[in-house]
Amino acid sequence: MKNNASNSFMLMAIFFLFLNLANSQNPKKILTLGDSNGAFTYGWVYQLQKMLPNDLIFNTSTPGNTVGFDNLDQSKLNTLKNLDKYLSTAQDSLEHIDYILIMLGTNDAKYIFRHRQKEVYNNMQTLISKLKDFSYQSKSKPKIIIISPPPFGDNQVLDEKYKGGSKRIKHTVKFFKQIAKKNNCGFVNLYKELKHSFMNYSKDGIHLNEEGQKIIAKKVLQRTMNLN
């Protein structure tokens, strides 16, 4: 068993060594759109940057962010309303964008939006369309990857504003998978990956701890590499 673990560790180390060598010669420019799980100082974007030290990531993740709702009555938490600003600022900073990683949907499943869930699908489709239609400086358009929101915990651990979210987030993931396929986007199914182990990485049933954030980053990295 020790030999198998040691071999696995060595293979992983060799993989990241070659990955970093390749990236140093052709660094990727990445824009991330996300919420609090991406905004944390230990969040998945930070973990991804550690795995891709030679690449550049422009992170717009904001706690409370939604795909297309004015969460807490704040337009700054509506990604659709701020998308042009995000894209323009990221492009000015990065010069060009190779990948756009989207991890949104958790806040769209809040209790207050329970009667507006059909809008979530339409909002995400609009978001993808705007990303595809944006006037990029580079000849090639960025690859878009939709990362599903993770599961919710059970009601007994959730704050009131997220009550009943487990069922809503399940439908959100289904919608996002359909949109990814329809629009030829990459898709990372975190919901499926974490469905049976989520509470091992979360105290409040919404936010993941550092180990959980590392899992997200590894899955995103695998999917990104598959698209190269």
pLDDT in tens, 141-166: 999 999 999 999 999 999 999 999 99
Using CA atoms in the order 104, 108, 110, 113, what is the torsion angle rounded to 10 degrees? 180
Please tell me the distance from the alpha carbon of residue 71 to that of residue 40, in angstroms, as a whole number: 19
Least Cα distance to 96 among 104, 87, 105, 106 occurs for: 87
Per the model's pLDDT, the better-predicted residue between 124 and 24 turns out to be 124
Task: Please write the tens of the pLDDT for every residue from 71-110.
Answer: 999 999 999 999 999 999 999 999 999 999 999 999 999 9
Taking residues 220-226, report their average pLDDT: 79
3-state SS class at 61? coil
CA-to-CA dists, residue 61 to 87, 156, 190, 216, angstroms: 13, 28, 17, 15
Per-residue pLDDT, 17: 55
Taking residues 126-137, report their average pLDDT: 96
The first and second tokens of residue 224, run together, are 């990104």
Least Cα distance to 205 among 216, 194, 214, 217 occurs for: 194
User: What is the chain's mean pLDDT, rounded?
Assistant: 91
Of the pLDDT bands very low, low, confident and very high (cuts 50, 70, 90), residue 139 is confident
Please tell me the distance from the alpha carbon of residue 112 to that of residue 107, in angstroms, as a whole number: 10
3-state SS class at 35? coil
Task: Please write the tens of the pLDDT for every residue from 181-218.
Answer: 999 999 999 999 999 999 999 999 999 999 999 999 99
Per-residue pLDDT, 228: 44
Please tell me the distance from the alpha carbon of residue 199 to that of residue 211, in angstroms, as a whole number: 12
Position 111 pLDDT exceeds 50: yes
Position 125 pLDDT exceeds 60: yes
Helix axes 165-182, 117-133, angle to 10 degrees: 30
Strand positions, DSSP E, the chain: 29-34, 56-59, 99-103, 143-147, 186-188
